[in-house]
Structures are given as C-alpha cells and as structure tokens.
C-alpha cells in the first residue's frame, strides 16, 4: 500500500493551508537559482535552445546533461536567491514540528545565499552532506581563447554537490526530550555503530533511472535513500518534498518505508510523477538507505517490467 500523497500546487500556497506541526522533515532539490525553472526557461530547455540552461555538445561519444548557468545570474538575481529562501523558510516553518531537519540540494556557487536566507528565517545551519561524484561542470578554458590559454581553467572541475542541512529549533530543553515528544531533533544513524557521514560517494544518476525520468536534475536513488532515511531518527513521521519534480525523493521514501508528501507545480512533470515513483521505487529493492554501498540487482529490468505492466515508462525502458 502506498504511503505517499502527491499534490499539484505552488508549494508556497500549499504550505499556508497545512496544519501546524504536521511535517517531520524535508528533503528537496529546489530551483535555488530561481530563474532556471521559470516557465519561459523550462520551455527553452524542452525545445533544446537558448535560455539559462547550458546544453553541452556530445564529447567523446558521451552526451552531457543540460546544466543551469549560475554564473549568468546578476547581483539582483543573486540577492533574490537569499530572499527567496528566507521566504520559503518562513512559509515552511509553521508546518514543521520542532527539531525537524531539512536537506536542500545546492551548488557551491549559491550555497552561502541559501544558508543565509534559511538562517534569517529562523533555522539552525547544521552544515552539509557532500555528495562526491564525477561532474562535468567547471574546468573549462576561457571561452573563445581555449588554444591561447591551454593550461588555464576558469573554475575547478566540479566533483561534489552540497546537500545543505538545517534544523528548526527544538522546543524541549534537550535533544533527548525533543525526541521523546516529537520524534525529531537528531538524525538516524546508518546503524548502531556507524553515524551518517558528511561525505558520501554517490556517482552520476544511473541510466536505469534516467530512462525512467527525463527531469534535468534527477538525483540518484542511492544518495536520496540514505538522506531521507536519516531524517527520521526514530523511523516515524512524514517527509515533505515541496519541489517534487520527478518524484525521486518520494520514491526514496517509499523504498525506505516512510510516509511522504510531494508537491509539484509543473503540468508536464506532474502528469508522469506517479509512474516515476512506482518505477524508481521498484529498483534496488534490497537497498533501504542503511548502508553506503548499493549493489545493483541483476534482475532489475525484470522487476520493472513485471511491476509496470500499464505504465507509460515501459516503452522507454523496454
């Protein structure tokens, strides 16, 4: 039986109508550059031309995924990032129980603005978990002067993605007491002997997952299942993804066995979100986020084919 709910809505308006102290944690990959997910920019992305999204050429036979060009943001747009996350944090605060943790996927270029905005909204900044992976962002030579400056790069080649961690202040005198009252205030360990580390090796999103969803910022189930599992220290509560996109966070919650809520505004993403969730949940059935190692199952395609009999995703996979 499904333990998730999906709503098509603007999360700011949706949050205003939620009961106080009803959400126990948040895990999300929001439009932290703001402009990249405005309707006209998404239209350009889907048409394959123009806009803030950089559509890299195929290099060495490998097709690179589109990436938003955060270096194009003006000072005013950067200031808007800070304000946006302050307002987001303020809208979210009443719905969260005391001690609720929030994971927000970010980028090193804008991480400080997100953290300042959330801090201004009243959250404690609790560091970040770094997802290590081989990225394609950065490392480029000066544009139109690649041969002249052959041993120069404009920025380092990206090899990590910060998942910023925040906490709504606890209401009890101690974390232990907050855990007894609300079930929150701390993170769930991988096991009794191993705490959640702040560096996790988690590679590029596997082909079996990108075949399910074409969302441009799809995160791998490996990192998502580890993160969402950690958010409920006693294994009980509701996790929210207010920018649900592909539904991958909700799928991770399903796989771990947690109740979750997804909110997504985009018509096209929302139209396939349930199919995505079912498909992403069906892979790696033995991986519950309680280990740093994911061993792909050899029968994953057979599992998907059996579970997605009436799904529109079947044609993409098989």
pLDDT at residue 263, as a whole number? 98
Asked if pLDDT for residue 94 goes beyond 60, the answer is yes
pLDDT at residue 24, as a whole number? 98
pLDDT at residue 232, as a whole number? 98
Q: Which residue has the higher pLDDT, 13 or 2?
A: 13
CB 98 within 8 A of CB 178: yes
Instruction: Decide the pairing of beta strands 67-68 and 53-54.
Output: antiparallel
Phi-psi category of residue 122: left, alpha or beta, with phi > 0 → left and psi -120 to 50 → alpha: left
pLDDT at residue 211, as a whole number? 93
Tell me, what DSSP letter sits at residue 220? Answer: P
> What is the arithmetic mean of pLDDT over 115-125?
98
pLDDT band at 60 (very low <50, low <70, confident <90, very high): very low
Query: CA 220 → CA 29, 113, 154, 237, 306, distances in Å?
Result: 12, 25, 28, 23, 22
pLDDT at residue 139, as a whole number? 83
Asked if pLDDT for residue 50 goes beyond 50, the answer is yes
Asked if pLDDT for residue 220 goes beyond 70, the answer is yes
d(CA 216, CA 65): 7
Instruction: Decide the pairing of beta strands 160-167 and 199-201.
Output: unpaired
Over the stretch 9-23, which tens digit does the pLDDT of each residue have? Answer: 999 999 999 999 999
Q: Which residue has the higher pLDDT, 308 or 13?
A: 13
Q: Which of 109-113, 168-172, 258-262 has the lowest mean pLDDT?
A: 109-113
pLDDT at residue 78, as a whole number? 85
pLDDT at residue 231, as a whole number? 98
Over the stretch 137-159, which tens digit does the pLDDT of each residue have? Answer: 778 888 889 899 999 988 888 88
pLDDT at residue 173, as a whole number? 98
CB 187 within 8 A of CB 197: no
Instruction: Map out the domains of the chain with their CATH numbers.
Output: 4-317 (3.40.50.150)
Percent of the chain with pLDDT over 90: 65
Q: Which residue has the higher pLDDT, 45 or 301?
A: 301
> What is the arithmetic mean of pLDDT over 63-85?
72
Asked if pLDDT for residue 244 goes beyond 70, the answer is yes
Residues in the chain: 318
pLDDT at residue 51, as a whole number? 52
pLDDT band at 128 (very low <50, low <70, confident <90, very high): very high
Over the stretch 248-297, which tens digit does the pLDDT of each residue have? Answer: 999 999 999 999 999 999 999 999 999 999 999 999 999 999 999 987 66
> What is the arithmetic mean of pLDDT over 231-251?
97
Mean of pLDDT over the chain: 86
CB 107 within 8 A of CB 115: no
CB 3 within 8 A of CB 251: no
> What is the arithmetic mean of pLDDT over 199-206?
93
């Amino acid at each position: 039986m499904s333990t998730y709910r999906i709503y098509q809505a603007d999360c700011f308006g949706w949050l205003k109508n939620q009961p106080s102290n009803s959400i126990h944690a948040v895990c999300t990959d929001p439009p932290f550059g703001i402009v990249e997910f405005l309707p006209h920019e998404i239209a350009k992305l889907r048409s394959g031309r123009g806009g803030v999204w950089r559509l890299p050429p195929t290099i060495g036979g490998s097709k690179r995924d589109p990436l938003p060009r955060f270096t194009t943001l003006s000072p005013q747009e950067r200031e808007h990032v800070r304000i946006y996350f302050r307002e987001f944090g303020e809208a979210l605060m009443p719905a969260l129980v005391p001690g609720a943790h929030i994971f927000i996927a970010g980028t090193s270029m804008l991480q400080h603005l997100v953290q300042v905005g959330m801090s201004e909204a009243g959250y404690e900044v609790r560091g970040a978990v770094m997802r290590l992976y081989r990225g394609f962002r950065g490392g480029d030579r000066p544009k139109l002067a690649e041969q002249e400056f052959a041993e120069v790069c404009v920025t380092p080649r990206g090899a990590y993605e910060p998942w910023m961690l925040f906490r709504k202040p606890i209401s009890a005198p101690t974390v232990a007491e907050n855990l007894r009252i609300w079930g929150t205030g701390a993170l769930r360990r991988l096991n009794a002997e191993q705490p959640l580390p702040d560096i996790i090796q988690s590679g590029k999103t596997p082909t079996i997952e990108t075949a399910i969803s074409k969302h441009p910022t799809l995160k791998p189930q490996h990192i998502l299942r580890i993160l969402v599992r950690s958010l409920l220290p006693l294994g009980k509560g509701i996790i929210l993804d207010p920018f649900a996109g592909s539904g991958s966070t909700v799928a991770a919650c399903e796989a771990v066995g947690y109740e979750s809520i997804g909110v997504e505004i985009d018509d096209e993403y929302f139209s396939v979100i349930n199919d995505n969730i079912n498909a992403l949940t069906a892979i790696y059935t033995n991986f519950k986020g309680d280990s740093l190692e994911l061993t792909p199952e050899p029968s994953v395609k057979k599992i998907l084919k059996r579970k997605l009999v009436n799904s529109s995703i079947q044609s993409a996979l098989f």
